[in-house]
Structure 1
Amino acid sequence: TSAGTARALWTQLRHEGAASPSDEEAIADQASLDHAEIYGRNIESFIGTVKIPVGVVGPLRLNGLNAHGDYYVPLATTEAALVASYGRGAEVTAQAGGITTAMIGEGVLRTPAFVFRNMLEAGMFINWIAGAVDQLKASAEATTRHGKLITIEPFMDSDTVFLICRYTTGDAAGQNMVTVATEALCAYIAANTPVAPLRAFIEGNFSGDKKASYLGLHMGRGRKVTASIELPDALIRKYLHVEPEAMLAYGRVAALGSTLSGQLGAQAHYANGLAAFYIATGQDAACVAESAVGFTRAERREGGIFFSVTMPNIVVGSVGGGTGLPSQAAALGIMGLKGEGNDLHGAICRD
């Protein structure tokens, strides 16, 4: 990909009446064309970039097991008032001493699937898998310097077997990493299993990749995080302009609404903040479909309200994907998370 190929595509678009010179000027600005080769690593038929407003929230005060201090968080969105809303949250939580955070689980899932002639063959295959775990792990991990296959859990449905493969992925979100590793695992199975499947698939659509699922809700996919804070009544009134009892009353109705409508989890809309953060920092924005699942809890405590949030499917990284693009790398830099082997990144991911 080069600036020349982008210009050639714009010539074609104008010739066919699909674009105007002003369209080209807005999308194919010089700064974008100067980095055409970099952008081209993440997209085909590159013609430029779309500009999304970026705001910053903070300081956001964290009291994690490993990460402590104040952080500024970039958010890219076209939704007016979103950054202001999160800004109020950052302000009131900082005044209350900060948010307690922890990462309580980790593992990106891939679930290869194998179809057999009958239930007996499927059961025999699972028995063989149980004795070949070390070899399967070695095959998968030979494809990556950073990924580790930590568990393999069979799930059987009559003549079909899914293998729930859970990986740690270092500083990367790891979606492609675990796909390549699982392909190697499947190749080892094909070459060595005494019970040959009729069909095999690297991903059987069981893992919950970019989908809200009960599996992700309970097992987690990516990083499972939890956070909590206790806000005094006086701060709620001063910064959020609402009576604490009204907040609690709404929380009860919202929890009922989540249950009656069959939502996965109970929360208002994590997707707003996650989408803005994922876009700003070069994450895979489609992962919001699974990441925006979780539970928000509010309980009366003496003199205030205790709030907690648990999110089991946070799929993020500081390397790979779009994290190396110019603006996205700069956004990660604002947080102190740019690049591989960053001690702060490791601390925050653990928190």
Structure 2
Amino acid sequence: MTDDTRATAEELAERVRDGELRLHELEDHADADAAAAARRLLVEGQSGASLDSVGDYGFPAADADPNIENMVGAAQVPMGVAGPVAIRGGSLDGERYLPLATTEGALLASVNRGCSVLNDAGGANARVLKSGMTRAPVFRVADVVEAEALVEWVRENEEKLREAAEETTSHGELSDVTPYVVGSSVYLRFRYDTKDAMGMNMATIATRAACDVVEEATDASLVALSGNLCSDKKPAAINAIEGRGRSVTADVTIPREVVEERLHTTPEAVAELNTRKNLVGSAKAASLGFNAHVANVVAAMFLATGQDAAQVVEGSNAITTAEERDGNLYVSVSIASLEVGTVGGGTKLPTQAEGLEVLGVRGGGDPAGSNADALAEAIAVGSLAGELSLLSALASRHLSSAHAELGR
């Protein structure tokens, strides 16, 4: 921090203490770095904490203006890489390092081991099988007769809704609208192709315009632009079934000798463990995620590439399968609702942009949407590596010894 910045920060902090300014108004009176420094002074004075590390960040505070309010600095999460791993995807093909940011010791080592085994098997397949960001407003109607009329109107006038929605965006496209009726509540689940953007804001703005058309043409009244049938940042069976964002699957067949020599177990043991743990155990727990720890890789790659961290809730909505095939081991991971983008949001932050560059997917793709598809495929392959490594550690009873060896 320069002397001028420090002086400005102290002046701003004093004005806040005197009641002249509010925390969120500081950028109107100084540059973003001085404003952040002033807030650190105020927080340090009130709490007695030192924010020296928080204030030691490596990019101009103004770069984060679209991403945060009342900025004081940055929380720095250690970032590492696993791989490189061979990916045979529909949009991502070749060897890539996988960037992961985490504070969980042994995670990178585990995923890295899984990547090595995937390479020994010739690499992993990955495909995005469905794509679409959703927003589901809820309308009030008088009774089920009006509900039926609204549903019928929507089915007959989807093109009008599409025109209104797509007027708000130069990239997004309305794919379909699905009505759901519960008494006098009617939910319309709009699904959009948002190309390389994760697209939540795009879908919200577009849906608002479509809702205006519904209210003008029918007796329905909009209660909320989000009626929770979307469903965003909450565990939801509808996302497990219908998908949200990208629905992506990665799989691999590993020769028996690789399983035995590298993973110190057998295809039969891994398959049985997966059935009893990930399938039966998860069913008994009424879990929406039938996997070992997909959320670990999803969260770490989200942080490393600027994704919305709260959407790890949906990203962990995955099913892992494992079976013995002709003496070899087949393993797959299917993630139903992986909400990712390579443009907008946190992807513009400098360190997160570098994480995307490591994968070769920063910015918009050609064709549009291909970079976000490629990111989804990379995360799915990373998740497959993580599942394979953990399941094998459990099958060989090496999990606790691995953590002990790494001192975690």
What interval of TM-score do these two structures reach, taking the shorter chain for normalisation?
A: over 0.9
Structure 2 Cα separation of the partners of residues 236 and 19 of structure 1:
54
Structure 2 Cα separation of the partners of residues 303 and 29 of structure 1:
54
1:1-12 aligned at under 5 Å gives the runs 1=27, 2-12=32-42
Question: Which structure's residues are more often helix, by fraction?
Answer: 2
User: Does structure 2 conserve the Cα–Cα contact (< 8 Å) formed by 1:125 and 1:193?
Assistant: no
Aligned to 2:343: 319
Aligned to 1:24: 51
State the one-letter code of the partner of 1:150: S
Deviation at 1:347, TM superposition (A): 5.9
Aligned to 1:264: 288
Structure 2 Cα separation of the partners of residues 51 and 293 of structure 1:
27
Aligned to 2:85: 60
Q: 1:331 aligns with which of 346, 350, 355?
A: 355
Deviation at 1:101, TM superposition (A): 1.2
Deviation at 1:14, TM superposition (A): 2.6
User: Does structure 1 conserve the Cα–Cα contact (< 8 Å) formed by 2:192 and 2:203?
Assistant: yes
State the one-letter code of the partner of 1:180: I
Aligned to 1:180: 205
Structure 1 Cα separation of the partners of residues 110 and 183 of structure 2:
50
Same amino acid, percent of matched pairs: 36
The total of aligned residue pairs comes to: 344
State the one-letter code of the partner of 1:13: V
Deviates more, 1:232-241 or 1:91-100: 232-241
Aligned to 1:150: 175
Aligned to 1:83: 108
Structure 1 Cα separation of the partners of residues 376 and 309 of structure 2:
22
Aligned to 2:396: none
Q: 2:243 aligns with which of 220, 227, 233?
A: 220
Aligned to 1:248: 271
Structure 2 Cα separation of the partners of residues 158 and 116 of structure 1:
9
Deviates more, 1:228-237 or 1:60-69: 60-69
State the one-letter code of the partner of 2:286: G
* Residue aligned with 2:334, SS: strand
Cα distance change of structure 1 residues 28 and 235 upon mapping to structure 2, 3 Å threshold: same
2:312 is equivalent to residue 288 of structure 1 = yes
Deviation at 1:67, TM superposition (A): 2.6
Deviation at 1:4, TM superposition (A): 1.2
State the one-letter code of the partner of 2:209: A
2:45 is equivalent to residue 15 of structure 1 = yes
* Residue aligned with 2:51, SS: helix
Superposed CA RMSD: 1.6
Q: 2:164 aligns with which of 121, 139, 143?
A: 139
Unaligned segments of structure 2, at least 5 residues:
1-26, 378-408
Structure 1 Cα separation of the partners of residues 127 and 274 of structure 2:
23
* Residue aligned with 2:73, SS: coil
Structure 2 Cα separation of the partners of residues 274 and 346 of structure 1:
14
Structure 2 Cα separation of the partners of residues 318 and 146 of structure 1:
14
Deviation at 1:226, TM superposition (A): 1.1
Cα distance change of structure 1 residues 188 and 15 upon mapping to structure 2, 3 Å threshold: same
Structure 2 Cα separation of the partners of residues 14 and 68 of structure 1:
49
* Residue aligned with 2:322, SS: strand
For residues 117-149 of structure 1, the C-alpha deviation after alignment (integer angstroms, 9 at most, x for no partner) is 211111112222222211111111111111111
For residues 234-292 of structure 1, the C-alpha deviation after alignment (integer angstroms, 9 at most, x for no partner) is 11122222233322221121121111111114211210000000011000010010110
Unaligned segments of structure 1, at least 5 residues:
none
Cα distance change of structure 1 residues 66 and 323 upon mapping to structure 2, 3 Å threshold: closer
